[in-house]
Amino acid sequence: MKKSTWILLAIIGIGMGGYLMVKQKLKTKKLDFTYTSLIRGNIEADVSSTGTVEAINTVQIGTQISGTIEKIYVDYNDKVTAGQVLADMDLKLLNTNLNSAQANLAVSEVQLSRAKDEYERNQTLYKKNVISNKEYTDSKYAYNQAVSAKKAAAAAVKNIEVSMGYAHITSPIDGTVIERSVEEGQTVAASFATPTMFIIAEDLTKMQILADMDESDIGYIKDSMQVRFTVQTYPEKNFYGMVSQIRLQPIEINNVVNYQVVVDVNNEEGLLLPGMTTNLEFITATAKNVLMVNNSALRFRPNEDMLEVVKPILEMKAKEMLPDSLQVKFFRAINNEEQYTPTNFKKNLPSHIDGFFCNNEQGKLDFKFIEIGIKTGLRSEIKRFLDGSDLIEGSKVINGIKTKKK
């Protein structure tokens, strides 16, 4: 083939390559980008959960004896003190039993006195060989039996007296009655389990929330962590508490392992009531006065035409800014036709490294690698630009593409 023919083919090839490049650039120029601005402010990361408000210390008060409730002295929300009588049981049956037991005790005392006299008399006669050994032994046995009978009768009296003491239901602590489950005239039976008559909360100015935390989030929760929460009664008001305990006992709820987290809450205003449902946010990290980018810019996906144009930019920026170990992975991804797609072009970056597209000072398309700090559902903290440039509030970054109308 003639030399002139080779030259002609080379010129055609260069022309075609130039045409394709120009064509891609023209396609890119036809794209209208939408923008979002970098802003400065405060950001916090949190983990959400739900829980129930409870009093820190509650005591269930019941009766250890069966019978009829004669009188109730307290009602819901009443303040009580330790030792205060809450209710009285009917004592008629106990008084009858006490009288019977006292009578039995008196009989046993008489029998003991008689057995003692006989035993002492036989003891003297036995020493003088007047009575047989059997008579002496029988009298001694009768005396010992009478002693035991008296002790049993005395114990029976004491037992009934103790039961009569239980007939006066008293409060073991200072607190507030939050539940009363009995009425006057009602019969309660304590044969198998102690029935609950009252529930008293020790101090309603200090409450706690029991929150169920998913096993995927429990690692973020720490002791003394601040918690913000709301209740349905006051949806616009934020309450605050502090994590006081992470219980290690796993609880399976709908085939998901949960752990119970205890949050202590100050309730001096008295707005929180036992049993209220809470929506909690465990504040895992906070940062103030930092530069932030809207996550829409980080989620932005270039189209296929744009990918070809920005590939040299990505290679250059990665070579300048990424560590060697990340460069290898990133170059491997963008040079792999299957991996270098609008969805996966940043796939090999670690979670704390990300990037967004923007326009440089000359108005040309550019890409910035950034180090991410706190990330929420809406925004992410920019800790630094990997190229060392300043963090400038108000800078425009690309977060979408809009094709121009023909």
pLDDT at site 193 = 62
pLDDT at site 331 = 81
Question: What's the mean pLDDT in 207-223?
Answer: 92
pLDDT at site 403 = 61
What tens digit of pLDDT does each residue of 149-198 get? 999 999 999 998 888 888 899 999 899 998 898 888 888 887 656 678 89
What tens digit of pLDDT does each residue of 62-92 get? 888 888 899 999 999 899 999 999 999 988 8
Among 209, 212, 215, which residue's Cα sits nearest to residue 227?
A: 209
Tokens of 385: 């630009």
What pTM value is reported for the model?
0.66
Half-sphere exposure of 92 (CA within 13 A, CB side): 5
What tens digit of pLDDT does each residue of 240-259 get? 999 999 999 999 988 889 99
E-strand ranges in 295-328 read: none
pLDDT at site 8 = 46
**101 in the Ramachandran plot: left (φ > 0), alpha (ψ -120 to 50) or beta?**
alpha
Query: Between 205 and 7, whose confidence is greater?
Result: 205
What tens digit of pLDDT does each residue of 22-36 get? 344 444 455 788 999
Instruction: Spell out the domains of the chain, with CATH numbers in brackets.
Output: 29-41+291-403 (no CATH), 47-56+201-290 (2.40.30.170), 63-89+168-200 (2.40.50.100), 91-166 (1.10.287.470)
Contact 23, 165 (CB under 8 A): no
User: CB 350: neighbour CB atoms within 10 A?
Assistant: 11
Rounded to 5°, angle at Cα 206 from 201 and 209? 90
Among 346, 361, 348, 364, which residue's Cα sits nearest to residue 298?
A: 346
pLDDT reading at 6 higher than 70: no
pLDDT at site 48 = 92
Least confident window among 133-147, 239-253, 289-303, 392-406: 392-406
What tens digit of pLDDT does each residue of 321-371 get? 888 878 888 888 777 777 778 777 787 788 889 999 988 888 888 899 999
What tens digit of pLDDT does each residue of 97-135 get? 889 999 999 999 999 999 899 988 988 888 888 888 888
